[in-house]
Structure 1
Amino acid sequence: MQQDAFQPSTGQRIHLVTGKLAEPMLCHIAGELEQRHDVRCTVGVAPITVAALMTPRWLKRKLDIPPQTTDVVLPGFICLDPEQRASVISELQNDVDRGDQVRWWIGPKDCRELHEWFGGESMPVELTDHGIEIIAEINHAPRLSMQDFRSAVGHLRDQGADRIDIGCDPSSACQNIADYVRVVLDEGMPASIDTFDIPETERAVAAGADLVLSVNASNRFAAMDWGCEVVAIPDVPNDINSLKHTVDDLRQHGVCVRADAILEPIGSGFFASLQRYAEFRKQEPTIKMMMGIGNLTELTDVDSAGVNLILLAICEELRIESVLTTQVINWARSSVRECDHARRLLRYAVGMQTPPKRISDALVMLRDPKLRPMPDGALDELATTIRDTNYRIFADDSLIHLVSSGLHLSDRDAFAMFDALLKSSRGDSMDPGHAFYLGYEMAKATIAMQLGKQYEQDRALNWGMLTVEEDAHRIERTARRRKGSNRKGSGDQESD
């Protein structure tokens, strides 16, 4: 029978059961468990994609327990009700071949929690490896002063860009484009030039730009003399044959080339353009490729993080080694940071053949990964048990709560609740600083309530990678007031 807690001991032979989807991840974890606990682990993969769809009746027909197994660990989804687990284990013990010779366990729902379930600490996921180069474009760069351009280069570098692309002005060539290239190089970044103007390209390459965007039938004849890598594109976006002709011509002349099939915006052939990337990769399995993802992030009314992750997932699976992105429009202003984290997350997920879930929540910004609601009646009980007059603020899906000794106010409208507080017996002691603090915290609670975020008083809301931590203002104010009260010989407590 299952015991209260799993305590691995040296020499145990543990059989871990899962579905097909989690097999690569579980095999990796099994190896870590063996090293950490000096046990032997085998992985049993049931003929089902997702372990959550297993039932005890189905599993007992499919389960094959290896010889010398001492313990079998089933995924937590096999029985979510703790009170029924003993009967489920008893059923499997009686009906599975060799089931009465092993100890049975129902483990966590997520195999990534096995380290903690084994009595240890969770293994940190190292999101350091990546395979996608981020090319950050500065649009209309020649319109910027050198000081502003240098500042933009440093900002993009610090956000995670690997290369700076100098976006030129299509209406007029920049005579001092070499100065812009030198700024990029001075900031420690490789430079690319984005122009079809041949003399402008030549000046940029002579100054040190080592990648040219873009080349097609109109200018590929000149690329033979530039002595640098170029990005080949179709003559028109949907003409993949013209892309192949340009690539073949450049390669025949010894030009290093990467191909971009041109990502089209939604409404202009978006899905067809994705198919072109896949088709070209199938035809050319070894050539370097690039995808300009700004056509989607800049031209779609949606926060960019999710769009960037999906596009980089396509690039990771198609082995598209570089992306060109911009962060001009406000909803895409953190695109480079998002791409930098997404490429690391996706390299790990694809390498482990596991969904990118519960690995990192840095890109979960609008809502929170998980909420921790207060139990029913807990706030009323809190109001009757606490003795001090400090104010505690809570938020759930529908209400903001203000709780203190003998007081529990709640409302969807923070203004209405604050008005009720002023009309209560506590209202006369409200000073301006205290009112400002409560108003600030209730504004955060309102945002949390509206978006479905976890609110914790005196702590910053969780905005993923964009979170800016806050000082503990309530604690500091309370400590200062109490210190001052003690100097005066007063025992009164701050109503905070």
Structure 2
Amino acid sequence: MSRERLLFVTGRLAEPSLKVVLQPLAEKVGFDYEIAVLGISVAALMHVNWVQRKLKVPAGVSRVILPGWCTGDLSPLSSQFGLPFERGPKDLFDLPEHFGKSKRAIPPLDDYSIEILAEINHAPRLSEQELLSQAVRYQQSGANVIDLGCIPGETWPGIAAAVRQLRSEGLRVSVDSFDQREVESAVEAGAELVLSCNGTNVDWACKVPAEFVVISDDLRNLDSWNGTIAKLTEAGRSFRLDPVLEPIGFGFAASLQRYFETRRRFPETPMMMGVGNLTELTEVDSAGVNFLLAAICEELQIASVLATEVINWGTTAVREFDLARRLVRHSLQNRVLPKHLGGQLVMLRDPKRRTLGDENLRTMAGQLTDPNFRVFAEGGEVHLMNRDGYWHGSDPYEVFDEMRASTGGSMTAEHAFYLGMELSKARTALTLGKQYIQDETLRWGFLTVDEISALKRRKHRTGESESPTPAVE
């Protein structure tokens, strides 16, 4: 059976890198190929109309792969040449994934088993609008229940109105209080869960038609909640058990052991964990902490957590736990490692990096014939090159100064701003171990905010150059 013969279209600068990628890929996938180098240095500047005029397709080709940045409708090309045309990836190093040899299909991650209660801290201090705004933000981040955190020693006269307001917006509500009047008012207004119940309030709690979170009278003695459990059970009240997660340095490991022991003693009873005692009280980025706690909850079948976003390093904790609970659910259900699932919680670094290598960088720099700058970040250095030279180093300021000294050229404010932006992004990528691609945003997991590249901005400006990289004038 004859092998498919593909034609890969590219520009002059990308040809060496494309050859490096295609040689092993063709053997792995099982196709023959040719490369058509059109008369343009940067493949990103190609447009279908231009390709139509410049391209010659050799005999025997069955399919044509264009650069991912090539713009325009591909159907005229297919009609003219009588062959299927398709866009490849924007980054040619993604070609193996394009051909299905590296990239794994990302599952939808729709399923989860852990309910998130998101606490609005010091809720009585907020206005109605502030309360609603924070509740809606929590819901959009993945919270299932909005928890109203009351203030110990105070009674909140407006709690019933607050609960009714949130319920009218379709939100589920819990209340975090030991004050009888607050709890009764909140439950009457529609709150479904009360945090918390122990020996100090169980007698009146038995008369309140809501579910309760049970905690021990003595956190280090699980037997101390037996009386509370017995009374709630006798009264027909629903409850979930929370052995209470304690901060690092104050009994953290022992508190984890209590969760394991509680599940052993009560294999069918609902449980809850307050994850904020770790995310709020540990000075580290909260995403990894949330993921590990989600894994513990999933394995122990702890079906609810209480999260909050008070401290600055945990201001996306609810969204983090929402993503984490989906990852661990998928992992346990399918008995697979929680890897290759989209990288939404990989924020500081990137799931993978690709580099051109010193030889390819030098080759590319030697082939440049136009004044437009190319920027790269690898090998601990930022690399800046155009037809006038190749400058690289660990300090973007020094690289920029060397370039100006070498070229002696003037530069518009717009061009200087562009290079400053790109060199800054390149330096950040080097510092954190991220992938840098010129004119593309750095990736920050689910926190990524896509930006409009300089290339796209210029393409939308009538009469201006479509060059993605500014030149020294």
Match of 1:463 in 2: 444
| Structure 1 unaligned blocks of 5 or more | 8-112
Alignment partner of 2:434: what SS? Answer: coil
Residue 281 (structure 1) aligned to one of 241, 263, 280: 263
Are the equivalent residues in 2 in contact too, given 1:394–1:455 (CA < 8 A)? yes
Partner of 2:6: none
1:166·1:192 contact (CA, 8 Å) conserved in 2?
yes
d(CA) in 2 for partners of 1:141, 1:274 = 29
- Aligned equivalent of 1:433: 414
CA distance in 1, matches of 2:181, 2:216: 22
Equivalent position amino acid for 2:471 in 1: S
Letter paired with 2:440: R
- The residue aligned with 2:370 is 388
Alignment: residue pair count: 379
> What is the CA-CA distance between 1:478 and the residue it aligns to?
7.0
Contact (CA 8 Å) 2:206, 2:231: kept in 1 or not?
no
2:176 to 158, 169, 194: 194
Deviation at 1:116, TM superposition (A): 3.7
SS in 1 for 2:446: helix
Q: 1:221 aligns with which of 203, 208, 212?
A: 203
Work out the CA distance in 1 between the residues paired with 2:207 and 2:368.
80
1:442-491 Cα distance to aligned partner (Å, 9 max, x none)? 1111111111101111111110010011101145337748x3479xxxx9
Partner in structure 2 of residue 354 of structure 1: 336
Cα distance change, pair 396–494 in 1 and its aligned pair in 2 (3 A): closer
Give CA-to-partner distance per residue, 1:70-92, whole Å, 9 cap, x none: xxxxxxxxxxxxxxxxxxxxxxx
- Correspondent of 2:224 among 235, 242, 246: 242
Instruction: State, as a whole percentage, how many aligned pairs show the same letter.
Output: 45
**121 and 411 in structure 1: CA distance in 2 versus 1, 3 angstrom threshold:** closer
1:314 paired residue number: 296
Tell me how far 1:353 sits from its aligned partner: 1.5
**Residue identity opposite 1:343 in structure 2:** R
Which residue of the partner structure matches residue 272 of structure 2?
Answer: 290
Cα distance in structure 2, aligned partners of 1:478 and 1:392: 18
**Deviations 1:160-202, CA, capped at 9 Å, x for gaps:** 1000000001131101111111122122111000001111111
Partner of 1:407: 389
| C-alpha spacing 1:165/1:388, structure 2 compared with 1 (3 Å) | same
Deviating more after overlay: 324-333 vs 400-409:
400-409
Match of 2:431 in 1: 450
Query: What secondary structure, in the 3-state scheme, does the structure 2 residue paired with 1:287 have?
Result: coil
Instruction: Tell me the SS of whatever aligns to 1:410.
Output: strand
**Map of 2:151 onto structure 1:** 169
> Following the alignment from structure 2 to structure 1, what is the Cα–Cα distance between the partners of residues 432 and 465?
40
Structure 2: where are the runs of 5+ without partners?
1-25, 31-96
What one-letter code is carried by the residue in structure 2 that aligns with 1:320? I
Mapping of residues 474-493 of structure 1, within 5 Å? 474-477=455-458, 480=461, 483-484=463-464
Flag the 1:397–1:376 CA change in 2: closer, same or farther, 3 A.
Answer: closer
- How high is the TM-score relative to the length of structure 2? 0.76
CA-to-aligned-CA distance 1:88-108 (integer Å, 9 cap, x gap): xxxxxxxxxxxxxxxxxxxxx
TM-superposed deviation, 1:231: 0.5
Whether the aligned pair in 2 keeps the contact of 1:142 and 1:169 (CA below 8 Å) is: yes
| Contact 2:373 2:386 survives alignment (8 Å) | yes
Residue 147 of structure 1 corresponds to 129
**1:123 shift after superposition:** 3.5
Other-structure match for 1:127: 109
Work out whether residues 376 and 426 of structure 2, in 8 Å CA contact, stay in contact via their aligned partners in 1: yes
Q: Which residue of 1 aligns with 2:471?
A: 495
Q: Pairwise mapping of residues 265-276 of structure 1 onto structure 2 (< 5 A)?
A: 265-276=247-258
Q: Which secondary structure does the structure 2 equivalent of 1:214 belong to?
A: strand
The answer (yes or no) to whether the contact 1:345–1:360 under 8 Å persists in 2 is no
Q: Alpha-carbon deviation of 1:380?
A: 1.4
- Alpha-carbon offset, residue 389 of structure 1: 1.2
Is the alpha carbon distance of 1:312 and 1:121 closer, same or farther for their aligned partners in structure 2, counting shifts above 3 Å? closer
CA distance in 2, matches of 1:6, 1:377: 26
SS of 1:337's equivalent in the other structure is: helix
Query: Which stretch has the larger CA shift, 356-365 or 255-264?
Result: 356-365
Stretches of 4+ moved more than 3 A in 1?
A: 3-7, 120-124, 477-481
Separation of aligned partners in 2, 1:6 and 1:406: 40
Partner secondary structure for residue 355 of structure 1: coil
Distance in 2, Cα, partners of 1:200 & 1:370: 51
Please report the RMSD computed on the Cα atoms of aligned residues, expressed in angstroms: 2.3
The 3 A distance-change label for structure 1 pair 6 and 469 is closer
**Structure 1 segment 14-163 matched on structure 2, within 5 A:** 116=100, 122-163=104-145
Q: Secondary structure at the match of 1:465?
A: coil
User: 1 CA distance for matches of 2:214 and 2:357?
Assistant: 60
Q: Deviation per CA, 1:141-160: give whole Å up to 9, x if none.
A: 00011111111011111111
Alpha-carbon distance in 1 for matches of 2:430, 2:29: 38
Aligned to 2:307: 325
Deviation at 1:223, TM superposition (A): 1.2
How far is 1:239 from its partner?
A: 1.9
Alpha carbons of structure 1 residues 409 and 479: separation in structure 2 relative to 1, 3 Å: farther
Instruction: State the one-letter code of the partner of 2:451.
Output: E
Equivalence for 1:90: none
Give how far 1:121 is off.
Answer: 8.2
